[in-house]
């Protein structure tokens, strides 16, 4: 039995048409898409498959769409006989992708995950409107210097995505100041991100507080598949840990580099990225080139995967 880890992408991976071939070729995947429409009371599938892109990009559709497409791909994977010889040891996801990981691990049901994602998105949107902010990706700049510049400028680290890719977040003027300081210090690639707010920053605290209240009544099940928290970069062993860390994730740094390192140190060699895009595959290769990462986002990917 081969031990593997599953990873799930976050916001930004969406694209019109994602998962359509899985819907057409996998009964299990189709059932997931149809269930999402039923749970949300909207034709999410139509927006995913046909767009328009502007609608898919909105908070109301984007996050549920990525999660649903990822879970549909996972359902297709589980229905394929070739996966009977693998044992999933860990699941992890980048920001929003952590909900895919929890659903895959059995911590949350598909229906409960969708409802939580909907509420999380609404709370984050409220916080973004109340505290307007920005985010920027910094490529190829020393992490220690970047942390110091953020401290000096008054902004925060949103994501440690890879050794050479870090995202900063905070009030627009403070992010602009940090970007200027980074450029002066020799930073060659500073990219302003087209996002609706300063996610993964203290400006999202109000969203986290509201989400924490919602989680109090949610049944969280701990299973044999360990979910690695974005907040701690460690596997969570109890429902109480998950209940504490999920709200924290909204305003804390996503420690993706350490998450991948934790999986590798735990003996994982094979990782499957499930869902739209191949962003995580690229990041993981930068973090640890010895890991074998494959991606499943189409029926063709599923047919070609080697285990």
CATH assignment at residue 290: 3.40.366.10
Q: What is the pLDDT of residue 282?
A: 96
- Assess whether 159 and 187 both reside in one domain: yes
Residues 107 and 229 placed together within one structural domain of the fold: yes
- Check whether residue 184 and residue 63 sit in a common domain: no
**pTM beyond 0.75, yes or no:** yes
User: Which is more confidently placed, 63 or 1?
Assistant: 63
Q: Are residues 186 and 39 in the same domain?
A: no
Q: d(Cα 292, Cα 283) in Å, to the nearest integer?
A: 12
Domain match, 253 and 141 both: no
| Among 26, 70, 113, 200, the one annotated catalytic | 200
Six-digit token string for 225? 């598949």
Q: Does an H or E element contain 62, and which? A: helix 59-79
Query: What is the three-class DSSP state of 179?
Result: helix
**Of these residues, 26, 95, 113, 201, which one is catalytic?**
95
pLDDT, tens digit, 9 for 90 and up, residues 177-216:
999 999 999 998 999 998 889 999 999 999 999 999 999 9
pLDDT at 58: 85
**In this predicted structure, what is the pLDDT of residue 237?**
85
List pLDDT tens digits, range 140-180: 999 999 999 999 999 999 999 999 999 999 999 999 999 99
The CA distance from 116 to 191, in Å, is 30
Burial class (CB in 10 A: 0-12, 13-18, 19+), 219: exposed
Q: Which pLDDT belongs to residue 75?
A: 97
Q: Do 172 and 70 share a domain, yes or no? A: no
182 & 142 share domain: yes
Query: Within a domain: residue 290?
Result: yes
- Give residue 194's pLDDT: 84
Residue 249 is assigned to a structural domain of this protein: yes
Q: Is 87 a catalytic residue?
A: no
Residue at 223 is within a domain: yes
Q: Is residue 197 part of a domain?
A: no
Same domain, 99 and 212: yes
Dihedral Cα 25, 27, 30, 31, nearest 10 deg: -170
Q: What is the pLDDT of residue 239?
A: 94
pLDDT by residue (tens digit) across 35-67?
Answer: 999 999 999 999 999 999 999 988 789 999 999
Looking at the fold, whether 163 and 216 belong to one and the same domain comes out as no
Q: Tell the burial category of 230 from Cβ atoms under 10 Å away from its Cβ (0-12, 13-18, 19+).
A: buried
Can you give the CATH number for the domain in which 164 is found? 3.30.70.250
Residues 73, 53, single domain; the answer is yes
Provide the domain limits for residue 246: 2-128+202-304
Last residue of a domain, one of 192, 217, 238: 192
- 123, 146: one domain: no
- State residue 196's pLDDT score: 83
Residues 6+ apart with CB under 8 A from 156: 150, 168, 169, 170, 198, 200, 201, 202, 253
Q: What is the pLDDT of residue 1?
A: 75
pLDDT greater than 80 at residue 307: no
User: 21 with 123, same domain?
Assistant: yes
Q: Is 200 a catalytic residue?
A: yes
Domain assignment of residue 26, yes or no:
yes
Give the distance from CA 10 to its chain's centroid.
3
141, 187 Cβ separation under 8 angstroms = yes
pLDDT, one tens digit per residue, over 94-142 is: 999 999 999 999 999 999 999 999 999 999 999 999 999 999 999 999 9
Is 47 a member of any domain?
yes
Q: How many domains, in total, are found in the chain?
A: 2
The last residue of one of the domains, among 160, 192, 224, is 192
**pLDDT tens sequence across 229-275:** 999 999 988 999 999 999 999 999 999 999 999 999 999 999 999 99
């Amino acid at each position: 039995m081969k031990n593997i880890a599953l990873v799930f992408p976050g916001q930004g991976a969406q694209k019109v048409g994602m998962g359509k071939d899985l819907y057409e070729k996998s009964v299990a995947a189709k059932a997931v898409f149809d269930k999402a429409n039923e749970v949300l009371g909207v034709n999410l599938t139509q927006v995913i498959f046909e767009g328009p892109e502007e609608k898919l990009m909105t908070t109301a559709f984007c996050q549920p769409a990525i999660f649903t497409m990822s879970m549909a791909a996972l359902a297709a994977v589980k229905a394929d006989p070739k996966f009977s010889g693998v044992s999933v040891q860990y699941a992890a996801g980048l920001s929003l992708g952590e909900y895919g990981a929890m659903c895959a691990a059995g911590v949350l049901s598909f229906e409960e995950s969708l409802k939580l994602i909907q509420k999380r998105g609404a709370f984050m949107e409220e916080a973004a409107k109340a505290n307007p902010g920005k985010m920027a990706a910094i490529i190829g700049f020393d992490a220690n210097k970047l942390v110091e510049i953020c401290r000096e400028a008054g902004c925060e680290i949103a994501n440690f995505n890879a050794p050479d890719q870090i995202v900063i977040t905070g009030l627009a003027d403070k992010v602009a100041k940090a970007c200027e300081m980074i450029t002066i210090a020799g930073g060659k690639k500073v990219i302003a991100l087209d996002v609706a707010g300063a996610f993964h920053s203290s400006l999202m605290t109000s969203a986290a507080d509201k989400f924490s209240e919602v989680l109090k009544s949610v049944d969280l099940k701990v299973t044999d598949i360990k979910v690695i928290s974005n907040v701690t970069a460690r596997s969570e062993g109890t429902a109480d840990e998950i209940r504490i860390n999920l709200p924290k994730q909204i305003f804390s740094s996503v420690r993706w580099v350490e998450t991948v390192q934790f999986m590798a140190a735990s003996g994982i060699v094979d990782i499957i990225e499930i869902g739209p895009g191949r962003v995580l595959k690229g990041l993981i290769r930068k973090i640890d080139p010895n890991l074998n990462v494959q991606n499943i986002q189409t029926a063709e990917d599923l047919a070609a995967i080697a285990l």
